[in-house]
Chain A
């Protein structure tokens, strides 16, 4: 689009037409731009501003600079929240990548009803998260957990697992649900990447007598790498900002063992009414996520270039 405008500067008639065209273009883009500004840029700028004030609900608040952020660093509950968020994000992204890759490789094989299976795989991702997590809540229920019932019945465990009642198990539970929900995104994206790898590379490798593992290592993985990078970056951002799974399953408990940024920000800003501090909690990771986003954009642009 833009290159088109620059490419024809000499021709006079052409230029007039293009200027007209450009105006039309700007005219057509402006509603979207307006929406972006109103719905994204303004609330974001407002959130940044609020995080720099000591504002509580219904009162204007004073500018306190980075005071909220400074206080958060000293808050033991917040430090635990940071730790929990990293454990939650890193462990689930790693698991989703490993399992997603295995799943994508399996789905790339020839087998009956392949397309049907691929479609079913997307279900966890399509079902509204809050609904599916409510189902998980029942499966983890302290009294009626079907998982415990099955494991006890099979003799795998001798006493009930306190899924949401024990700090370690609770973190494991929210991670399991996050992996379950996010796995299809990984599997399908990686599958698309796998399908784009030219077959003839494998055929040549076969002719050269390379075993499957070497083919995977030297052909599949390097060619899949751009997709992996994008998927991992996206997932990292989403998982850091996750709210629903933890809020519904544990609400950050027990004893704050699963408190993450979004749930803590909700409690502090909306329930306790301290919205300056709540915004600071929500924005605390913004610089880190910004780097992640920049990396993501660079990667996407690099791919467009190739």
Chain B
């Protein structure tokens, strides 16, 4: 091999770079860059790194980027958002918690504040100040973020899950509005399927839509995985059996068989492809229609989850912002979170999402976004019906584990694939005893 590295130069006069020069230049540049970064980190403006999910609606992330720039300009604190795929968030959070290094602010999913309570700094001062200024927090917000007696995160909002349905097809089978009870929905689903428009609620490994569709169904029939103490497994009950029987009937009479393989995006695609008439989802379908299926905007409507013998329930994924104890800029991070939830910023972010997010501060129930489009009125009401997995017990690590192991979704899925109700419940009971027994 030649002793010298040839570097492409101008035509006809090749320049040669000696090995020594190459090493010198490389080492010099590295030292200069490191020194620059070092000086910048030590002497420059404090910097807050925020790790969050990449929203299905990119425009919402654009608003956050813009707000971060605004904040830096106004307060002299640099804020850097890093957006990653929702499914990568648990692994990144785990790595930060374990290594004691990483972002300063972390986005936590539903039970996250409880799962990572030990790694999170108390943020009660900010949360309580926001509560005082903005008409208080909803009950669910407190369940999510208060661990023991301290606020471990500031609830950022929920991704409201409601029924999305085709009003034209419902009218065809005699329903001018979406039925209010699960029993009526079953009758309607059968009529719809007979017309070639089945309903569909994700029963596969859809961490969002699968769980969000099936916890409310279990609760509405009076079933629960655990008692109020959050310890005693209570899934084996006549109420659960009724919910399971109902779910099987819905699958057989009114649903597309595809639901068993559905992930979180399948129902969106099926609805946009006009393959299903009803599904449980965030307002993202309605949003996506703007671009992908404008002809469906007029015939797409939202409804609350139906009621059952025990009432009306919902489960919508909640997201919260927490500050890690290891962060060296805790004060700045907390101040930024407080600023982000102020009406000027929050309304702009929530507003552009048009129903994709709903705030958990009572003030935001009257946000202008809900008046923008009458079809979003339903979405506005969702926070008051929302419960977290583990209900009626408090959110907890076992409740989160039961959810990621799809215990409730699988309970219904087993019944739909032919397992007898008692057997499906027995399997779920064993799984839950295993999970809650470890607590």
Taking CB as reference atom, which chain A residue is nearest B400? A272
Interface string of B245-265 (1 = CB under 8 A from A): 000000000000111111100
CB contacts (< 8 Å) of B406 on chain A: these are 253, 256
CB contacts (< 8 Å) of B430 on chain A: these are 76
Interface stretch, picked from A56-64, A99-107, A119-127, is A56-64
Nearest chain B CB to A55 CB, angstrom units:
9
Give the residue of B97, B98, B261, B270 whose beta carbon is less than 8 angstroms from that of A165.
B261
CB contacts (< 8 Å) of B94 on chain A: these are 57, 269-270, 273, 275
Whether the Cβ atoms of B258 and A270 lie closer than 8 Å is: no
Q: Is the interface of B mostly helix, strand, loop or mixed?
A: helix
User: Is A156 an interface residue, CB under 8 A from the partner?
Assistant: no
Whether the Cβ atoms of A57 and B404 lie closer than 8 Å is: no
Whether the Cβ atoms of B438 and A71 lie closer than 8 Å is: yes
CB contacts (< 8 Å) of A170 on chain B: these are 261
What count of chain B residues pass the 8 Å CB interface test?
Answer: 39
Whether the Cβ atoms of A272 and B269 lie closer than 8 Å is: no
Q: Is the interface of A mostly helix, strand, loop or mixed?
A: loop
Nearest chain A CB to B130 CB, angstrom units:
26
Nearest chain A CB to B414 CB, angstrom units:
5
User: Is B204 an interface residue, CB under 8 A from the partner?
Assistant: yes
CB contacts (< 8 Å) of B275 on chain A: these are 143
User: Is B224 an interface residue, CB under 8 A from the partner?
Assistant: no
User: Is B405 an interface residue, CB under 8 A from the partner?
Assistant: yes
User: Is A267 an interface residue, CB under 8 A from the partner?
Assistant: yes
Interface centre among B119, B261, B405, B438, by most A CB within 10 Å?
B261
Complex CA distance for A140 and B204, rounded to whole angstroms: 14
Report, as a range, how many residues of chain A touch the other chain.
35 or more
Taking CB as reference atom, which chain A residue is nearest B435? A272
Whether the Cβ atoms of B401 and A268 lie closer than 8 Å is: yes
Per the 8 Å Cβ criterion, residues 36-77 of B in contact with A are none
Complex CA distance for A144 and B273, rounded to whole angstroms: 10
Q: With A58-B97, A271-B404 in contact, is A143–B204 under 8 Å at CB?
A: no
User: Is A15 an interface residue, CB under 8 A from the partner?
Assistant: no
CB contacts (< 8 Å) of B242 on chain A: these are none
User: Is B434 an interface residue, CB under 8 A from the partner?
Assistant: yes
Whether the Cβ atoms of B269 and A254 lie closer than 8 Å is: no
Complex CA distance for A65 and B147, rounded to whole angstroms: 30
Give the residue of B116, B273, B401 whose beta carbon is less than 8 angstroms from that of A274.
B401
Give the residue of A166, A250, A254, A274 whose beta carbon is less than 8 angstroms from that of B438.
A274
Whether the Cβ atoms of B118 and A142 lie closer than 8 Å is: no
CB contacts (< 8 Å) of B259 on chain A: these are 165
Whether the Cβ atoms of B405 and A165 lie closer than 8 Å is: no
User: Is B115 an interface residue, CB under 8 A from the partner?
Assistant: yes
Nearest chain A CB to B387 CB, angstrom units:
20
Nearest chain B CB to A147 CB, angstrom units:
14
CB contacts (< 8 Å) of B427 on chain A: these are 76
User: Is B183 an interface residue, CB under 8 A from the partner?
Assistant: no
CB contacts (< 8 Å) of B261 on chain A: these are 140, 142, 162-166, 170, 250, 253-254
Q: What are 21 of the A-B contact pairs (CB < 8 Å)?
A: A57-B94, A57-B119, A58-B98, A71-B438, A76-B430, A76-B431, A144-B269, A162-B257, A165-B260, A250-B261, A254-B203, A254-B204, A254-B260, A255-B414, A255-B417, A256-B406, A266-B91, A271-B404, A273-B116, A273-B400, A274-B397
Enumerate the 8 nearest inter-chain pairs by beta-carbon distance, A residue then B residue, closest first.
A165-B261, A142-B258, A251-B205, A253-B205, A272-B401, A165-B260, A164-B261, A58-B119
